[in-house]
Chains A and B, each alone.
Chain A
Amino acid sequence: MGLKKNAEGAGLHEVAVREYPRDLPGLLAQLADDDVAVRRWAARDLGEHPSAAPAVCARLVEEPDASVRAVLFSTAARLGGTAVVQGMIGLLRSEEPALRNGAIEVMAGLPTLVAPCIDALLQDADDDVRIFTVNLLGDLRHPQVPQWLKQVLWTEPQVNVVGAALEVLAEVGGADTLPALQAVRARFADDPYIGFSADLVAERIETA
């Protein structure tokens, strides 16, 4: 017993012989395999197949295992593209927080592709989708983020969406945000939470 180095090459396992071919149809078939490890490896290897994006997004809704889901999200992030963005926007409407949070994380990594969708998302009829969009703006590396957030302060009727925007503006807001802060304070004059948050953001901007 003790420290032991295996004979040349024997220290590591050879790649296991797999039942399915590692091409696109084979990998897609494996996404429905009973074995979690097989599904996880298929989800990972699909990252080499850009045309798999719709199937990867669709599988996220059905996949019951958290570890496979995690890999599916990572693969979606690696693949990128408009199909992934559309798939993730669909997940923003999910009732499952894990799916929504995963979607936000993936979208945050695709700023150029996501940017053209932001205006429509901020106009969505569903309050929750607008809140999640503001959450997304908090992580989105895009120069238009402050502008979108100011737009929320000027026009958004729902208090929770405005509150979420103020949280993000506390970090990214500049002096040009001050008029919008005054306006939102006036629009929600009866809401102490908005007043407090707006003052906090203004204070941060003025002391920076």
Chain B
Amino acid sequence: MKANLLASPLVISDADFQKFAEYFHRKTGIHFDDSKRYFVDKRLVERIEASGAGSFRAWFAGLRFDAAGTELQRVVNTMTVNETYFFREAYQFDCLVNNLLDEVVACKPPGSRLRIWSIPSSTGEEPYSIAIYLLERWPGIDRYDVEILSSDIDTQVLQAAQRGVYSQRSVAQLPQAYLRKYFTQTGADEFRISPDLVSAVDFSRVNLSEAADTRRFRDIDVIFCRNLLIYFDDVSRRVAAEALYDTLNPGGFICLGHSESMSRMSSLFTVRRFRDAMVYQKPLDA
């Protein structure tokens, strides 16, 4: 450890940080201010050392001019936190039940169907959170049929989602009342979700980059596609955004992760700012 410290004089200067932060923001929409300095510097040093570049300058030149974008993808993965849990970024679920669904049903007669798509499903925390929110916090659930579709490219996480067994960490943000109502504790660190919720979500494997996969999805009213597109290259991101556009009904909404911006991917959507969240909408006249 001491030897490593002595042999590791890499320091990210203010100018280096600014240069990186500007470039990273332009490429991903993710903004790092000085409050994230420690987080960013630590990961930059890790990437510079792993790449063998030896200095920020050499590494940044490699990043900047790497036609394949490999190092950019690596640094994106390093700089983004990839974890999920129940009620993560719940302000968007608040927006769903406080605003989005009411707008969607405004032109639908009672008894008609709404369709919500959660992609990527990961291990199921997001689609099940949506289901719980609808049951607990959206009065319209008594007047409409709601289908929740959820997809992922990874069949292993889909299997885990359908098993519906979660750790304490995963359910930590759930109100105790909901935990008691929808889960059964089956071990010291094991909570099994209600079979009724498992059976209410339609899981499927989908590669968002494959037109053949997404073409089956139509008439979606709300899409949750959070913290996925930031991992795509520019062209794939745009193609995916356009595919999502075609799956939506006119006036349908799409919710992205807090660090993602549809405006950087595609000009097809309209930005809508609600009290709880900013989301993107397919124009009503599309």
Query: Which A residues are closer than 8 A to B by beta carbons?
Result: 1-6, 11-15, 36-37, 40-41, 44-45, 47, 66-67, 70-71, 73-74, 77-78, 105, 109, 111-112, 141-143, 145, 171-172, 174, 204, 207-208
User: In the assembled complex, which residues on chain A have CB atoms less than 8 Å from the CB atom of B69?
Assistant: 141
> Shortest beta-carbon distance, A122 to chain B, in Å?
18
User: In the assembled complex, which residues on chain A have CB atoms less than 8 Å from the CB atom of B159?
Assistant: none
Nearest CB in chain A to that of B212: its residue? A15
> Shortest beta-carbon distance, A61 to chain B, in Å?
18
> Shortest beta-carbon distance, A75 to chain B, in Å?
8
- Stretch touching chain A among B86-94, B171-179, B196-204: B196-204
Contact A11 B147 (CB under 8 A): yes
Nearest CB in chain B to that of A174: its residue? B57
Q: How large is the interface on B (under 10, 10 to 19, 20 to 34, 35 or more residues)?
A: 35 or more
Contact B234 A3 (CB under 8 A): no
Contact A109 B234 (CB under 8 A): yes
Does B79 sit within 8 A of A, measured CB to CB? Answer: no
Given contacts A12-B216, A70-B266, contact A6 B147 (CB under 8 A): yes
**In whole angstroms, what is the CA distance A14 to B216 when docked?**
6
Contact A70 B200 (CB under 8 A): no
Contact B147 A13 (CB under 8 A): no
Contact B65 A3 (CB under 8 A): no
Which of A4, A71, A112, A207 meets B147, CB within 8 Å? Answer: A4
Nearest CB in chain B to that of A80: its residue? B235
Contact A3 B286 (CB under 8 A): no
Nearest CB in chain B to that of A6: its residue? B147
**In whole angstroms, what is the CA distance A116 to B266 when docked?**
29
> Shortest beta-carbon distance, A174 to chain B, in Å?
7
Contact B147 A141 (CB under 8 A): no
User: In the assembled complex, which residues on chain B have CB atoms less than 8 Å from the CB atom of A71?
Assistant: 242
Does B66 sit within 8 A of A, measured CB to CB? Answer: yes
Nearest CB in chain A to that of B282: its residue? A67
Max chain B CB contacts within 10 Å: which of A74, A143, A172? A74
Contact B267 A70 (CB under 8 A): yes
User: In the assembled complex, which residues on chain B have CB atoms less than 8 Å from the CB atom of A41?
Assistant: 246
Contact A70 B242 (CB under 8 A): yes
| 10 tightest Cβ-Cβ pairs between the two chains A and B | A3-B200, A4-B145, A13-B218, A208-B15, A77-B235, A143-B65, A12-B216, A111-B67, A74-B238, A11-B202
Contact A45 B67 (CB under 8 A): no
- Stretch touching chain A among B3-11, B41-49, B135-143: B135-143
Does B76 sit within 8 A of A, measured CB to CB? Answer: no
User: In the assembled complex, which residues on chain B have CB atoms less than 8 Å from the CB atom of A66?
Assistant: 267-268
> Shortest beta-carbon distance, A1 to chain B, in Å?
5
Contact B242 A141 (CB under 8 A): no
Contact B146 A207 (CB under 8 A): no
Contact A109 B242 (CB under 8 A): no
Nearest CB in chain A to that of B198: its residue? A5
- Stretch touching chain A among B16-24, B31-39, B161-169: B16-24
User: In the assembled complex, which residues on chain A have CB atoms less than 8 Å from the CB atom of B100?
Assistant: none
Max chain B CB contacts within 10 Å: which of A40, A71, A78? A71
Contact A3 B266 (CB under 8 A): no
Contact A109 B211 (CB under 8 A): no
Contact B141 A1 (CB under 8 A): yes
Which of A2, A11, A37, A73 meets B149, CB within 8 Å? Answer: A11
Does B131 sit within 8 A of A, measured CB to CB? Answer: yes
Nearest CB in chain B to that of A203: its residue? B15
User: In the assembled complex, which residues on chain B have CB atoms less than 8 Å from the CB atom of A11?
Assistant: 147, 149, 202
Contact B202 A6 (CB under 8 A): yes
User: In the assembled complex, which residues on chain A have CB atoms less than 8 Å from the CB atom of B15?
Assistant: 204, 207-208
Max chain A CB contacts within 10 Å: which of B145, B217, B235, B243? B235
User: In the assembled complex, which residues on chain B have CB atoms less than 8 Å from the CB atom of A207?
Assistant: 13, 15
> Shortest beta-carbon distance, A15 to chain B, in Å?
6
Given contacts A41-B246, A74-B235, A208-B57, contact A171 B211 (CB under 8 A): no
Does B54 sit within 8 A of A, measured CB to CB? Answer: no
